[in-house]
Amino acid sequence: MMNCNAILSRITPASGALVAVGGVLGVCGLVKSSAVLAIGGIALAAIGLLARYWPRTEQSVGIPFSSSALEPSPLNAFETEYAAMDNSKKAAAVDACDDTFPADGYSNRDPLNSDWIGILFDFAQKLLAPHSPKSTIFAIGQTPAWILAAGRAADPSRKDKLRHLAFSGSWWGIADATGKEYTVSFEGSSTKTTGNSWKNYEAGQTLRKFSDRAPTGPQLAAYRKYLARIGFHPRAIVQAEHPTVIVDYVQRGGGLRSFLDVLFDWAQDEGFSKDQLKAKMHLQLIYGNTDAGRFSSQDAFVCFLTEIFSPLSAKLEFTFIEPIEELTLLRLTNKSDEKRRLIKRFTWNAWNEETCSESSYANNPAIRTIYLQFLACHEAIKIVGVRTVGLAGVFSS
C-alpha cells in the first residue's frame, strides 16, 4: 500500500494541470452559485498544490534520491592539499610536469607540460561558457572527465556543479540502410572498417539499437540506484530550476544514445514524459577531426548527430576540439594507459548491486599527481598572464 509521499510523487507531474482545472471549476461554481462545483474545484486545486509543495522526503517510485546528493570526489582532498603547499612545492609540481616533456612535443604521448595543461584549461572554459554557473553539469565517462576537472580547478565556485558519472560501452551502433552494423578494427595506428565504409552517411547511415547486447533488468535496476545515489535522477532534472547539462565526447554517438536510453526509460517508469525530461536537459557534444574524418565531411558528421540528439534535448550544443586540444585530451585518456583514468571503466555487464554502490572514481595514485600539476600550472599561468612552458620560476619571485 502506497504511503502519502508515494501518492504525491506520482501526481506531482500533473500538479500544474490540477491547479488550473480546479481554479476554473471553482470560479465557474462561484459564478453559477453552485456550491458543489465551487467546492470540487477548490478541492482539486488544493490537491495539486499539495502535490507540488507538501514538505516530504524527496523520493521516486522505487528509488529514493536526494537532488542535492554529491558524491565525494578525491579532487576535494587534493585541492585542500594544494592550498597548504608552499611555493617551492608548487614550483616542483610545474617543473616535474615540464622536465619530462619530449623535445618535439609529439614523440611520446605520456607526458604533459604546463603549456598543454593550459590548453586544456582554455578548452574547459570554452566548453562551460554557454552554461549558467547554476546549472549542474555531468560528464559521462572517462574522456570528458579531465575537462570538467580542469573546469573546477579554474573556477572553484562551480566545483559542486561540475560532476562526473561512470558509464562505458554502448548497445546502440552505426548501421547502414539494411540494418547491418559497422564494426571497427584497429591495426597499429590505423582504423579500418569492416563491411561498408563510414564515409557514406548520405547513403542511409544511421544509429540503431542492438537489443541482443543491451543490459538486463537487474543490471538496469542496479545502475539506476547508482545514478540516484550521485544525484542524477529524472526527478532531479525535471524539478531543477536550471537545466541539467550532459557533456560527452562523441565518436559515433552510440555511447551517449545508450545512456539516454537508460535515462528516458527510467523517467517513464517514474511517471515523467519524454517532453518533461528533455525540456530541462541540455546536451553538450564534443567532437574532433578524428571522429568527423570518418564521415564525408564535418558538416555530415554534425548533421548525423543533430538528427539523432536534437529530438532528445531542449538544447544541443557542439564544441569542436582543435587538434592540439584533442591531442592534449588524448594524453590524459589514453586507453592503453589506465594510470591516468579519473573515472572507472563501467560497462553494463559489470552493473550489479555491489559495483553500483562503489565510487565513480578510479583508484589511481597518479590522479593526485596530475591534479596537483593542474592546479600549479593554472596558478602560474594566471600570475604571468600567458600560457607557456617554464613557469616554475614564478613561484620563486
154 in a domain, yes or no? yes
Q: Is 287 helix (H, G, I), strand (E, B) or coil?
A: strand
Residue 196 resides in a domain: no
Whether residue 278 is contained in a domain is answered as yes
Spatial CA neighbour of 201 closest among 293, 135, 125, 123: 293
Q: Does residue 65 lie within any of the structural domains?
A: no
Task: Determine the Cα–Cα distance for residues 6 and 16; give it in Å rounded to an integer.
Answer: 18
Rounded Cα–Cα distance for residues 55 and 69 (Å): 18
Report the pLDDT value the prediction gives residue 44, as an integer from 0 to 100: 64
* 359 neighbors 165 (Cβ within 8 angstroms): no
Whether residues 18 and 109 share a domain: the answer is no
Is 44 or 135 the better-scoring residue by pLDDT?
Answer: 135
Residue 8: the pLDDT is 43
Q: What is the pLDDT of residues 91-131, one digit of tens each?
A: 998 888 766 544 444 444 455 678 888 888 889 999 999 89
pLDDT of 329 strictly over 90: no
pLDDT(276) > 60 = yes
The alpha carbon of residue 12 and the mean position of all alpha carbons in its chain are separated, in whole angstroms, by 26
Q: What is the pTM of this model?
A: 0.77
Domain tally, the chain: 2
Judge if 319 and 374 occupy the same domain.
yes
- Both 36 and 162 in one domain: the answer is no
User: Strand 315-321 to strand 206-209: parallel, antiparallel, or no bridges (unpaired)?
Assistant: unpaired
What sections of the chain are H helices per DSSP?
4-11, 15-31, 35-53, 74-83, 87-99, 114-128, 145-154, 217-229, 234-239, 254-269, 274-278, 289-292, 298-309, 323-333, 366-384
- 34 and 116 part of one domain: no
For residue 368 the three cell numbers come to 593526485
Residue 89 has pLDDT above 80, yes or no: yes
Average pLDDT over residues 136-162: 91
Q: CA-to-CA distance for 51 and 58, rounded, in angstroms? A: 12
Higher pLDDT: 308 or 330? It is 308
What pLDDT sits at residue 188? Answer: 37
Same domain, 244 and 305: yes
**13 versus 337: which is more confidently predicted?**
337
Name the pLDDT band for 27 (thresholds 50, 70, 90).
low
Looking at the domain assignment, is residue 119 inside a domain? yes
**94 and 41 in a common domain:** no
pLDDT digits (tens, 9 = 90+) for 172-227: 987 766 777 765 433 333 344 444 444 545 455 678 888 888 999 999 999 999 99
The answer to whether position 267 is within a domain reads: yes
Q: Which residue range forms the structural domain that includes residue 356?
A: 74-171+217-384
| Element (DSSP H or E) covering residue 185 | strand 183-187
227 and 120, same structural domain? yes
Higher pLDDT: 201 or 1? It is: 201
**C-beta separation of 338 from 364 below 8 A:** yes
Q: What is the mean pLDDT of residues 72-83?
A: 92
Q: Are residues 235 and 324 in the same domain?
A: yes
Residues 230 and 92 in one domain: yes
CA distance 139 to 159: 13
Asked whether residue 176 is domain-assigned, the answer is: no
Whether residue 150 sits in one domain with residue 103: yes
Domain match, 251 and 334 both: yes
> Is residue 48 in some structural domain?
yes
Instruction: For 233-254, write each residue's pLDDT tens digit.
Output: 999 999 999 999 999 999 888 8
Percent of the chain with pLDDT over 70: 69
Same domain, 225 and 110: yes
